[in-house]
Amino acid sequence: MDVEKSKDVTIQVRNVSKSFRIYFDKGHMLKEKLLFANRNKYETRKVLDDISFDIYKGEAVGLIGINGCGKSTALKLLTKIIYPDTGIINVKGRVSSLLELGAGFHPDLSGKENIYINASIFGLKKYEIDDKLDEIIEFSELGECINNPVRTYSSGMYMRLAFSVAINVQADILLVDEILAVGDAGFQSKCLQKIAEIKKQGTTIVLVSHSMNQIEKVCDRCIWINNSRIAAVGETNDVTQKYIEYIEETERKKLAARHINTSETFNDIDMKEESKIRLLSVKLLDINDNEKKIWGIGERIAIKLDFASSIDTTANLRFEIMRADGILAYADIYDNCGRGYLLKKENHFCFTIKVLNFLAGKFFVSIYAENGIGGLIGSLTPFAEFDIIDDSSRYGVAKIDCECIMN
C-alpha cells in the first residue's frame, strides 16, 4: 500500500516531550511530608524529547529501541493514558490498545463476565459484545473454563483472555506493546495471524517489540527511538539493520569493558565459597571471527569462554542453552573422553555450534562444572545471551527439514 500517496494521516505527533519525576524517598502521608520535607527530593527524567512523526491510515509501524528509551511512553501518550508536557498529538478514529492486558478484570467474576466489562472499556455496546462473544471465547481457547472465576486462571489463561478481547474490538487503530509472547508458541502464531488479518482490513497498527522477527513480519515502516529522541525513521529492513548494528556495537563495548574490569579485579581470595568458578571473558564469534549478538538460522557460533577456578580439580562441563521462556533448547556434558578437564586459575574453552538450527527467539547460555559423580563445583548461569531472527512463518524451538507434497 502506498501510504505516502494517500496522505491520510491517522496519527500525528508534533514536537512532543514527556518527563517524569523520580522520587528518591517520597513521603506519602501529610505528617511525613511536613516532618521530613527533605525526603521528598526527586530528579526529573526526560523520557521523550521533542519527537515528531506521522502514521498513515492502514499502515503498520514498529517502534523499536532499548529498554527505557520511551517506546511504551509513546504508546501511552497515543492512548491518552498520559499527556505530553509539550507538543501536540492528533489521533483519528477508535483506538484499541494492547498495553496493560487484563486491566479492569475482576478476579471474582467469570471469564465471560469479564469479557463484557473489558469490552465495554474499549467502547463496545452490549449488543456488539453479544455478537463478538463466541469469537472471543473461541480465540482465547479457554473452553469450559470461561465460566470459572478469573482468580482460578493461570497467568497464561489470564493473558490469553485479555488479548482475545482487545484483538476482537473493531478499531481504526490498534496499539500493541510487547505482548505477542502470551501463551504457547501455537497461540503466539495465531496472534500474529490475527494481526495480519486486521492489517489487511485497513486498520492502522503501531507495534512495540524487542523481537525484530515480529517487527519485520508485521510492519511497513519502523521508528527507532534512542536516548529519548528519534534516531531513524524509514523502511523496516533499513531501520532494523541500523538498530541491530547499534546493539552489536554496544555489546562489543560492554564485553570489552567487562573483560578489562574482571581481569583487573580478579583475585581468587575473593572467590565465593559456593561457586568456585568465575567468568573472566566471553565472546560470541561468527565464521569470520566477528562478535555478534543477533544471529540468523544456519549460522555458525563459536563461544569462546575464559573462566577462573579457585581450586585445582578435575571436572566435567555441562553446557546448556535455555530459551527466554524457560524451555531447555539444548544440553550436553563434555568429559574429555572420560578423563575430565583439569581446572586451573585461568581456563580457556571454545564451544562451537556448527549449524544454528534454533528458530527465532532469545537464548541464554550456561555452564556447570561438575565432579565425576554429578556434584556441582561451580556454575556460570547465564554467562552469555544471543537473539535469533527469522522472517519465515516457522515457530517452535528447532528448525527441521520438512516438505509438503500434494499427491
Distance CA(64)–CA(216), nearest Å, equals: 11
Distance CA(212)–CA(140), nearest Å, equals: 25
Same domain, 156 and 210: yes
Distance CA(307)–CA(303), nearest Å, equals: 13
Q: Nearest CA to 11 among 69, 97, 85? A: 97
Q: Are 129 and 120 in contact (CB under 8 A)?
A: yes
Look at residue 368 and tell me if it is in a domain: yes
At residue 262, the pLDDT reads: 41
At residue 105, the pLDDT reads: 81
At residue 31, the pLDDT reads: 65
CA 358 from centroid of its chain's CA atoms? 17
Same domain, 91 and 31: yes
Look at residue 395 and tell me if it is in a domain: no
Distance CA(306)–CA(279), nearest Å, equals: 6
Same domain, 100 and 172: yes
Distance CA(61)–CA(208), nearest Å, equals: 9
Q: Nearest CA to 182 among 264, 119, 277, 98? A: 98
Same domain, 82 and 221: yes
Look at residue 400 and tell me if it is in a domain: no
φ, ψ dihedrals at 152, nearest 5°: -90, -5
φ, ψ dihedrals at 140, nearest 5°: -70, -20
Torsion of CA 203, 205, 211, 212, to 10 degrees: 90
Which segments in the chain show pLDDT lower than 70? 1-7, 23-40, 100-104, 178-188, 248, 251-275, 325, 373-374, 391-393, 407
Task: Count how many domains the chain has.
Answer: 2
Note the pLDDT tens digit of each residue in 281-334. 999 998 888 888 888 888 899 999 999 988 888 999 999 998 876 788 899 999
Look at residue 405 and tell me if it is in a domain: no
Cell of 148: 470459572
Residues in the chain: 407
Same domain, 219 and 308: no
SS3 of residue 170 by DSSP? coil
Look at residue 255 and tell me if it is in a domain: no
Same domain, 279 and 230: no
Look at residue 120 and tell me if it is in a domain: yes
SS3 of residue 386 by DSSP? strand
Q: Are 376 and 340 in contact (CB under 8 A)?
A: no
Same domain, 374 and 270: yes
CATH number, domain with residue 230: 3.40.50.300
Q: Helix, strand, coil proportions of the chain in percent (round to 5)?
A: 30, 35, 35
Question: What is the β-pairing status of strands 9-23 and 42-56?
Answer: antiparallel
Same domain, 314 and 220: no
Same domain, 214 and 298: no
Distance CA(42)–CA(45), nearest Å, equals: 9
CATH number, domain with residue 302: 2.70.50.60
Distance CA(91)–CA(16), nearest Å, equals: 14
Count CA atoms closer than 13 A to 373's CA, side-chain side.
0
Distance CA(190)–CA(209), nearest Å, equals: 17
Distance CA(40)–CA(349), nearest Å, equals: 51
Note the pLDDT tens digit of each residue in 240-291. 888 877 876 776 665 555 444 444 333 333 333 345 888 899 999 988 888 8
Look at residue 382 and tell me if it is in a domain: yes
Distance CA(290)–CA(288), nearest Å, equals: 6
Same domain, 125 and 237: yes
User: From residue 28, how far is each of 23, 103, 407 by CA, in Å?
Assistant: 11, 25, 72
Q: Are 353 and 395 in contact (CB under 8 A)?
A: no
Look at residue 121 and tell me if it is in a domain: yes
Domain of 22, in residue numbers? 3-241
φ, ψ dihedrals at 301, nearest 5°: -120, 125
Same domain, 235 and 273: no
Same domain, 76 and 211: yes
Cell of 405: 507434497
Question: What is the β-pairing status of strands 221-226 and 60-64?
Answer: parallel
Q: Nearest CA to 109 among 149, 160, 143, 142? A: 149
SS3 of residue 117 by DSSP? helix
What does the radius of gyration of the chain's CA atoms come to, in whole angstroms?
25
